[in-house]
Amino acid sequence: MRILIKNATLIDPSHPSHGEILSFLVDEGVISDIGTKITKADRIIEAENLHFSPGWFDPLVSFGEPGYEERETLKNGLFTAASSGFTHIGLLPNVFPVADSQSGIVHQISKSRGAVTSLHPLGSLTEGSLGKNIAELFNMQQVGAIAFYDAYHSLDNPQLLKIALEYSQSFNGLLLSHPSQDSLQANGMMHEGITSTELGLSGIPSIAESIQINRDLEILENSGGQLHIPFVSTSSGVAHIRRAKKKGLAVSCSVGLPHLFFDDKALVDYDTNLKLFPPLRTQEDKNALREGLLDGTIDLVTSMHYPMNLENKDLEFALAQPGSIGLEACFGILCSLFPLEQAIKFLTRGKSLFSIPQNSIAEGQKADITFFNPNQRFALTKSELTSTSKNCAFVGHQMNGKVLGCFHNNQLQWNADTLV
């Protein structure tokens, strides 16, 4: 199959043709010709204000299969990712049974074959994500695990993290440690501050994050290895990581999309879709996160996509489970906060951290491309969500930019109606 992408603007600041309008041919999944006058192909992609970039990556996505298929299946989750422009996702191991062995990783990869979006599993750091015994990290890496994380669970035992960091150096493994101290977050439902007091809700203090991050960074400095801190949400957490990077420690971090857009005042209506973990913090924290992302302290953005079925969300705030889906809103929200070029950087620069190949836009390269219209404005509605669960914090908010589709694994996902 020969597919012609016609008159599309390339957005890739690292590419010599950045900002230029190009036409290019994809022949059996490989970019075979780049020019401006190509006319013959089996199919043609052409759309108003068509833009494209290297394919996007979200390393910290949750679905539900196996164990929680009522929340999301692998098949529909990967379709949602492709429709949202993501050609690669990292899948968290928070399923049942927990992905803490070779068989769990192999199952996820085999179930994802044939999808447009490539699935890259994260294995659990400890057996059952219980924080007691280190899981079979090397064996999981050998069959495709890109990193190791007890998803949304803190590691209370510092000795375990130290041993895991030392052990993982033998195979260049990447470990993640959740940035929250359990005893300080117990029973908390939102950020501890003025708003939590006004709403009468128990809070999770900022020090629950900063203490844990500071501890983990000291362990990293002592033991060596590679550490990624997911879902940073506080200004103090950003400051700790900034200092560690200046020391030369092998630390990276990510921020959740909701923490860049909302703050704790958004909870005044007790919207359970805004109940998240880590919780939404203050305006000052939000500003520090944006600054950290722009200056490179924070390495990448994750949508924090976490489907929850209605039975877990349509409850009193205190009883509802935390989590919001975010893949469908990610591009439109990022473009409402940052210039287009910056948004694309945030969506693509995490690949190298997780050892995901970065295919360039060049002849002879496999096509790994996302298509979008950066000028299309719309308010996101629930009917536009393709996720099985509809717990989206961004419904009703303005999207600055619309995803048109993507091409990856020699397959096209096209959302618009303009395909010839």
Domains within the chain, CATH numbers bracketed: 2-52+361-414 (2.30.40.10), 55-354 (3.20.20.140)
Q: Is the pLDDT of residue 274 over 50?
A: yes
Residue 318 CA from chain centroid, whole number: 26
Per-residue confidence band for 417, with pLDDT thresholds at 50, 70 and 90? low
420 has pLDDT over 50: no
Burial class (CB in 10 A: 0-12, 13-18, 19+), 300: buried
pLDDT at 359: 86
pLDDT of residue 36 exceeding 80, the answer is no
* CA distance linking residue 29 with residue 27, whole number of Å: 5
Q: What pLDDT is recorded for position 1?
A: 83
pLDDT band at residue 104 using 50, 70 and 90 as cut-offs: very high
Average pLDDT over residues 93-107: 96
370-413 confidence digits (pLDDT tens): 999 999 999 999 999 999 999 999 999 999 999 999 999 999 99
Q: Does the pLDDT at position 217 exceed 60?
A: yes
185 pLDDT above the threshold of 90: no
pLDDT per residue as tens digits for the range 160-182: 999 999 999 999 999 999 999 98
Q: For 278-302, how does the pLDDT look when each residue is reduced to its tens digit (9 = 90+)? A: 999 999 999 999 999 999 999 999 9
- Region of 388 please: left (phi>0), alpha (psi -120 to 50) or beta: alpha
Does the pLDDT of residue 71 top 80, yes or no?
A: yes
Quick check: pTM over 0.85?
Answer: yes
Q: Is the pLDDT of residue 11 over 80?
A: yes
CA distance 50 to 401: 11
